[in-house]
Chain A
Amino acid sequence: MNLRFLSIFVALVVLAGFSASEGQDPVDRQGVAQPPLPWEVAAVQGFRNLGARSCSSTTCHGSVRADSTNDNRMRRDEYLVWLEEDPHQRAHATLSGEQSESIFRNLGLSPDDQRYRQVMQKCIACHGMPVELSSTDSSGQHMVYEGVSCETCHGPAEKWLKTHYRTDFVELTGAEKASQGLFNTNDAHQRARLCVACHVGDKEREVNHDWIAAGHPALKFELTAYLSMMPGHWKETRDRENAHNPAEHELELWLAGQQVAADASLAQLARRASAAAAGQDGAIWPEFADVDCYSCHHDLGAPLSWRQKRGFGVVQQRTEVQRITLPASEWYLFMPSRLAASSKDAAAVEFERAWQELRGKMAAEVIPDDREIAELADAARQRLDNWLSGRTSTADRKEMVDMIGKSDDPELVSNWDRAVQAYLALQVLSEDRGKEKALRQIRAMLAFPVSAGRQFDSPRKFRSVIEDIPKLILQFQEQLEGKQEN
């Protein structure tokens, strides 16, 4: 490494540190400011939300029967799909459910506690329409109950409700529509930004380990998996149309999801670390939500457990003896790292290096140095953006297959998080909507078991399937190759 490169690197790190400490989101996408997310639109442009009722007329989006013609890009029954089947509609209702009550109880908050309202506001940031509850417009109060409703994702409808079906509007570009407040959900990257803001976290939205211990489900998000589980209220043909490469639109979604989620998770880590470094009130460091869940949450096993065989620490080799600490969570970063490792791109190599450095520092001590981590996380984020935003092509099948690599690579199954991410990547490659026998078997192995009437929430049987999963991956890969040959 020559001096010039080193000085540039240092300058970048310092800059990243500055921007982190100022609490701004660095502009990504190579200097282009991102369009505001729907709830930001209200603050930035001042458009109002009108509520899901405004979309739900039977003649517009509230019909019972879906449109069966091919050329109409509307499904017509969007509202009903959302209302009846989408868990997003129930998002607010869960806040008054049993589980929610027990979470508040475990946090030591009763409804007459002043902090209860503050915490509830934070819940509503994800679980309800983000309207100002103190506004004098009483219609806003009702909208909170709609959960994650139409305008939460598509933007406040005030300006475009009466115009969005007219031809002159339909022909506008996505960016022009966005200037009216209609968020561009067609673009994979933008869609990923939307989902990730709640399902991973951002400045106002955070689920930390205190909450998870109180009972909130842990956040493990993967875009294509979640989209496949969400009852879609749009026509799949439209997804294909909007992709850069219609044949591989799911790959594109996968890559966008991985990029944005990794970015958000690094940003969250940086935010938490800098808050702790600045000594902010309520900052928690180390934050266990940034640590790999199941490296702690496992019953102590038999002598000669698989972890002892595998080894501990960052490098996870048997010969290394080092302090056992809390390894960083790899859920969001494993696949980008693997993709980078298999790529020849210089930017990719940079990112991989930055990530490994961050990982090493996180695992160096039980309580890593917060200032260092903040800087490294920001640096890794910059590198990630440099690499993936600078790509001219989207993900292609061969690249993904190469990334998965050899089925018996121990890296793929060295912990549950990695195994599941690999499995989900294989799902994306699947030709039969995930119905291949090998994939089903892998899923059964990775699923959390039920035993003695109790549902486990951690991969208790993972230890017993480590040998078998690589075999199934091989089976699947052969199946793919067989198909491709044909």
Chain B
Amino acid sequence: MRVLVALSWLALILGPEVLLSQEPALVGEYLGSSGCFDCHEIPSPAAEERLKTDFFINLTEAKNWVFKDKHARAFINVRDTDLGKQMLEILGIEKLAMADQCTSCHSNPHWLKTNGGMEAARTVYKESGVTCESCHGASSLWDTKHRSVRWRAESPETKVGLGMSDIRNPVTRASICFSCHIGDVSQNRVVTHEMYAAGHPPLPSIELETFLEKMPGHWRTVEEKKSGRFTNDDAFYSANGISESKYRRLESVVLSSAVAFRTSVKLIEQQAARSNKPGGPAWPELAMFDCYSCHHDLKLPSWRQVRANEVHGYKLRPGRPQLLYWPTTLLPLSGQELDGVNVSLREVGMALDRRPFGDPVEIGLAAGKVMVQVDDLLESIKGVSLGEGDEVAALKRLCALAESPTVDYESARQIGWAFTVILQTYEPWASDAAFREPIEQLEVQLKLNLPWGQEGKIEEQLHAALQAVSDYEPEEFREIMRKLASLLGK
């Protein structure tokens, strides 16, 4: 324990460099995604032939990505929509491609830096938005290697060593997704309050399984792979330790919620570290806190006052900006002991109590302690194997979580998404019509149906979405969850 404390002190003393430099070590260079399109856009006739018997991939990933996935249009949507244009105007950005603060999420800044702008249409088609390399890693070292059939039999460590991110690992996958969807200072992926004020839609909470399901995916799932055979399949399965478990979904929900928590705490830690550095940005970065803690029209009677600001057993002072609530909502699903985490979170709460927004040094220290606890938690979660009845228990647990006094809008969404996504794979309830109505009510109340894919336009739905935040009343949410609980009970 003391070692850990000393380490955290050391971390502070050695300076934020230690923390900030923890971005995934860049192995290799970014080649750009145009190369990927050569194979992965449309299979050649020869490849077509082979695909009939080889069920590993379908070689249309890039096309699917560009035509179906919203991520591909991330850059264009900012540059061409009214909302995006307003933002650029207010922030005074003339060339989007040159704006690091935007492209760190909405494109691949490394490639952009070395390759100038994004004028050519062809370039836009292939290189704008979230590119292949943004998730799969810089490809210079594995580009040629991965074309071989033997590549799939390599261990993930080897692949990572060459720069290919191990997306099959749920923790890694979650970290990569959350680095944009929550934030990561070391990769400059931070939405600041100025950006929000300029018009950036508020980042919703993210439940990874749901989001992945709706992406739509450009990969063949494990089930799809298993429906056929492919070369080196045994080697592949053993090398990657693909879970045979039919509780894969539940595992993923639990793991990714823990990783989301970790990411958000890390973000706080990193921002505190940045502010502590002389010459760093002033504390606080307002966007780090829960948006709706401040941004809510005052209502009488107010469910926030009734909530009385009790977080993890510690009663916080009313009226103080709080950190995000939703990352901790699903932690109890893991079934692990959360005392350590709670105690460390309490310290963060106390630091926020002592002065509004907290003192950056105190917050940094407290966040460091939380990180330690979260890492422990992750380790213990990984070690758990799920069994019969765990899914039902998880569903019931979710209903119980709804009764917590700190269930704000985003937390409610977490519960709603987790419930829906676990229920989907659990027969016989998945097709039970009785569940449909309450779930639909949840969807309406919590706007669980985001504008997925390229058909859904964020700008159009934004107003209704924000209205739903304002109209949210926890008691109404709890009633629906109670209804679901009673259905589960039968």
- Report if A and B associate in a common complex: yes
Q: Measuring CB to CB, which residues of chain A are less than 8 angstroms from any residue of chain B?
A: 102, 105-108, 209-210, 212-215, 284-286, 288, 296-304, 307-308, 311-312, 318, 321, 323-324, 365-367, 452, 454-458, 460
Write out, one digit per residue, whether chain B residues 171-207 have a CB within 8 A of any chain A CB (1) or not (0): 0000000000000000000000110011101100000
Contact B198 A296 (CB under 8 A): no
Contact B300 A455 (CB under 8 A): yes
Hey, which chain B residues are within 8 Å of A455, CB to CB? 299-300
Contact A213 B296 (CB under 8 A): no
Contact B297 A458 (CB under 8 A): yes
The answer to the question of B318 belonging to the interface, with a C-beta cut-off of 8 Å to chain A, is yes
The answer to the question of B56 belonging to the interface, with a C-beta cut-off of 8 Å to chain A, is no
Give the distance in Å from the alpha carbon of A240 to the alpha carbon of B401 in the complex: 64
Q: Which of A105, A321, A365, A458 contacts B92 (CB 8 A)?
A: A321
Contact A457 B298 (CB under 8 A): yes
Contact B295 A214 (CB under 8 A): no
Give the distance to chain A from B353, nearest Cβ to Cβ, in Å. Answer: 10
Q: Which of B194, B296, B355 contacts A299 (CB 8 A)?
A: B296
Give the interface SS of chain A, mostly helix, strand, loop or mixed: loop
Q: Measuring CB to CB, which residues of chain B are less than 8 angstroms from any residue of chain A?
A: 82-83, 86, 90-92, 193-194, 197-199, 201-202, 282-284, 286, 291, 294-301, 305, 308-309, 315, 317-320, 355-357, 459, 462-463, 466-467, 469-471
Give the distance to chain A from B457, nearest Cβ to Cβ, in Å. Answer: 11
Q: Which of B193, B298, B305 contacts A324 (CB 8 A)?
A: B193
Q: Which of A284, A304, A308, A456 contacts B298 (CB 8 A)?
A: A456
Q: Which of A213, A299, A323 contacts B470 (CB 8 A)?
A: A299
Contact A300 B317 (CB under 8 A): no
Contact A303 B319 (CB under 8 A): no
Contact B86 A308 (CB under 8 A): yes
Q: Which of A105, A209, A321 contacts B308 (CB 8 A)?
A: A105
Give the distance in Å from the alpha carbon of A94 to the alpha carbon of B470 in the complex: 30
Hey, which chain A residues are within 8 Å of B201, CB to CB? 303
Give the distance in Å from the alpha carbon of A288 to the alpha carbon of B86 in the complex: 30
A213's nearest neighbour on chain B, judged by CB, is: B319
Contact B356 A303 (CB under 8 A): no
Give the distance in Å from the alpha carbon of A318 to the alpha carbon of B282 in the complex: 23
Given A213-B319, A299-B296, A301-B466, 4 more A-B residue pairs with CB atoms under 8 Å apart are A209-B319, A299-B467, A366-B284, A454-B299
Give the distance in Å from the alpha carbon of A366 to the alpha carbon of B308 in the complex: 25
Q: Which of B199, B282, B298, B305 contacts A458 (CB 8 A)?
A: B298
Also in contact, A303 and B284, with CB within 8 A (given A298-B297, A457-B300) = no
Give the distance to chain A from B410, nearest Cβ to Cβ, in Å. Answer: 13
Hey, which chain A residues are within 8 Å of B357, CB to CB? 286, 366-367
What are 23 A-to-B residue pairs whose CB atoms are below 8 Å? A102-B305, A105-B308, A106-B318, A107-B318, A108-B315, A210-B318, A210-B319, A214-B318, A214-B319, A286-B357, A298-B296, A300-B295, A303-B459, A308-B86, A312-B197, A324-B286, A365-B282, A367-B283, A367-B284, A367-B356, A454-B300, A455-B299, A455-B300
Contact B282 A299 (CB under 8 A): no
Give the distance to chain B from A378, nearest Cβ to Cβ, in Å. Answer: 23
Give the distance to chain B from A119, nearest Cβ to Cβ, in Å. Answer: 13
Contact A299 B295 (CB under 8 A): yes
Give the distance in Å from the alpha carbon of A90 to the alpha carbon of B60 in the complex: 75
Hey, which chain A residues are within 8 Å of B92, CB to CB? 321
Contact A297 B199 (CB under 8 A): no
Also in contact, A456 and B284, with CB within 8 A (given A284-B356, A300-B469, A302-B466) = no
Contact B356 A288 (CB under 8 A): yes
Contact B462 A302 (CB under 8 A): yes
Contact A367 B282 (CB under 8 A): yes
Contact B83 A304 (CB under 8 A): yes
Also in contact, A296 and B356, with CB within 8 A (given A108-B315, A303-B199, A321-B90) = no
Give the distance in Å from the alpha carbon of A36 to the alpha carbon of B212 in the complex: 70
Give the distance in Å from the alpha carbon of A458 to the alpha carbon of B470 in the complex: 13
Give the distance in Å from the alpha carbon of A129 to the alpha carbon of B174 in the complex: 61
Q: Which of A108, A214, A297, A307 contacts B294 (CB 8 A)?
A: A297
Closest 10 CB pairs of A and B: A213-B319, A457-B298, A213-B318, A299-B470, A302-B463, A296-B294, A458-B298, A214-B318, A108-B315, A458-B297
Contact A308 B296 (CB under 8 A): no
Give the distance in Å from the alpha carbon of A105 to the alpha carbon of B463 in the complex: 35
Q: Which of B199, B283, B297, B318 contacts A304 (CB 8 A)?
A: B199
Q: Which of A284, A304, A312 contacts B86 (CB 8 A)?
A: A304
Contact A214 B305 (CB under 8 A): yes
